[in-house]
Each structure stands twice: as C-alpha cells, then as structure tokens.
Amino acid sequence: MIRKVVIFILVAGLLGGLIFDTPNKMVTGPRQESIAPKNGKVIRQSKVPVLMYHSIADVNSELCVSPADFKAQMKWLAANNYNPITLSQLYYHWEEGEELPVNPIVLTFDDGYADNYTIAYKVMREHGFIGVLFIYAKKFTTRNSVSEQQLLEMQRYGWEVGNHSYTHPELPKVTDQQLIKETSIAKDELSQLTGSSILAFCYPAGKYNDQVVQAVRNAGHKIAVTTNYGFSEKKQGLLTLSRVRINRSDRVSGFIKKLT
C-alpha cells in the first residue's frame, strides 16, 4: 500500500511538470502561459522587447551586469508578469500566427560566457524563465566559455541556441568564402551539436550590410538580431531586428525605465 502511494505521488509530480534540484528545493519548469484570445482570434504582438545581455559578472565593464542587479531585474520581470519566450516563438508568431504568452519578452545572451550558465541560467530557473544563448563555434575553446554539456542542459530546459558566427569577426570585413563559414558552416556545427535546427542569428558586434544579411538568409536562418536600439518589430525586417541593450550602469532603475 505504501509503495502504491509513493508511486502515485511521483507520477503526480511528473505530470505537474515539477523538477526537483535538491530534496529541499523545488523549481518549476519554463512558463507555459498562453494569451487570452480576443473574439476567438490570436492577439498579435506588434512590438516585443528583446533584451541584450553579455556577461553576468562583477567586472567593471558596461557589458557585465552584476549578479545582484541581474537577480533583481529577473525578480522585477516575474513580479510584473513578463513571460520570456524564444526568438523562434516570436518568428512563428509573426509569420504563422502562433500564440504568445501575455507580456512576452526575449532575453538574449551574446557570446556564451561561462556565467550565462553558472549565474544567469540558475537565477532564471527560479522564475521558470528561458532565454536565447548566442554562441560562436570557437568560443568553446576559450577559458571563459559555457561548456557544450552546459549548453545542452540549458537547451533541454527550454532555452534556444542561436548562431553567433564561427570566429566572431566583423562580418562586413571578411571574404566571401569566410562569410560562408561564419554563417552556414557555423550554423551546421551548432545544429549537429544540439540536434536541432538553428533558426536565430546574431551579428557579431552588431556589424552587417546587405551582403551579410543575404548570407545569413542563404544559410537558412529565419530571424536575426542586431545591436540597433529599440523594441523588435516585424517591419524592421526579420533578419535585422532591434534589441534593448542592458548595461552595467542601468542597475535596476535604468532597466525598468528601458522597459516602461
């Protein structure tokens, strides 16, 4: 009898989507809230904030948001009912009308720093948040990189892995042959690693021109982000979307101001 009760509790927990990290801490999976249709139709989101982070670390650089500030920023998003989505979800919403949760937001992280896993991923899981990790193939060989195993764990939780080129150069300056490697070959390697299609691309240092955008398109990417400032809108072009850069000096008050 006791054995049956234990089995029932375990099955109920799994069906409820609960993940236990430790015997004393329970973490919910990614949020799966859907929008409430108006008049039976999908509510279209014309503008969606796509945030741009890099490293989450106590380093005196505008690219490095402090762990304390990042934790407070995620807490504010949760308290104000924001629901992180992937760029692929945004693409299918704009192109095929798939539903999005209320207050959608995209949290992107450029370059694949180790702290994207050790800090950002862990903090975001406390709120059931997912993000988009843009990594370039050669990043794995550097000291301060997320590992392949960590990246795959993040993907299994619901994160999207995006292509950030092969060697992270300024793409308008590379040769035609190198451009293929930085877009198509890099995409293929990431796809082999993750076992999934790679739809999203991020321009290194935000540098692009018409030739680069065409190469990104030819490689099969469906959506791409720049460093142009602002909320993302389809009219910007699906391969040249704007983002909201989050700087170290923003702290929490500046973060809130950028979203409101």
Other C-beta atoms lying within 10 Å of the C-beta of residue 97: 10
List Cβ neighbours of 245 (8 Å cut-off, separation of 6 or more): 51, 52, 227, 229
More confident residue, 19 or 176: 176
Rounded Cα gap, residues 171 and 213, in angstroms = 10
CATH code of 38's domain: 3.20.20.370
Contacts of 35-40 with CB under 8 Å at 24 or more apart are 35/99, 35/100, 35/101, 35/102, 36/102, 37/99
| Size of the chain, expressed as the number of residues it contains | 260
Residue 190 falls inside a structural domain:
yes
* 41-73: pLDDT as tens digits: 456 789 999 999 999 999 999 999 999 999 999
d(CA 219, CA 171): 14
| Contact between 83 and 104 (Cβ < 8 Å) | yes
pLDDT score of 33: 45
Task: List the structure tokens of 256.
Answer: 């809130």
Write out pLDDT tens, residues 186-236.
Answer: 999 999 999 999 999 999 999 999 999 999 999 999 999 999 999 999 999
Contact between 182 and 207 (Cβ < 8 Å): no
Residue-wise pLDDT for 134-163, tens only, equals 999 999 999 999 999 999 999 999 999 999
Residue 60 lies in a domain: yes
- Give the count of beta carbons closer than 10 Å to the beta carbon of residue 165: 29
Q: Which residue has the higher pLDDT, 10 or 220?
A: 220
Its domain, for residue 161, covers: 31-259
| 181 assigned to some structural domain | yes
Specify if 20 maps to a domain. Answer: no
Measured CA to CA, the distance from residue 69 to residue 35 in angstroms comes to 29
Task: Copy the structure tokens of residue 45.
Answer: 């989101």
How many structural domains does the chain have? 1
Is residue 76 assigned to a domain?
yes
Answer whether residue 218 is part of any domain: yes
In this prediction the pTM is: 0.86
Residue 2 lies in a domain: no
**In a domain? residue 65:** yes
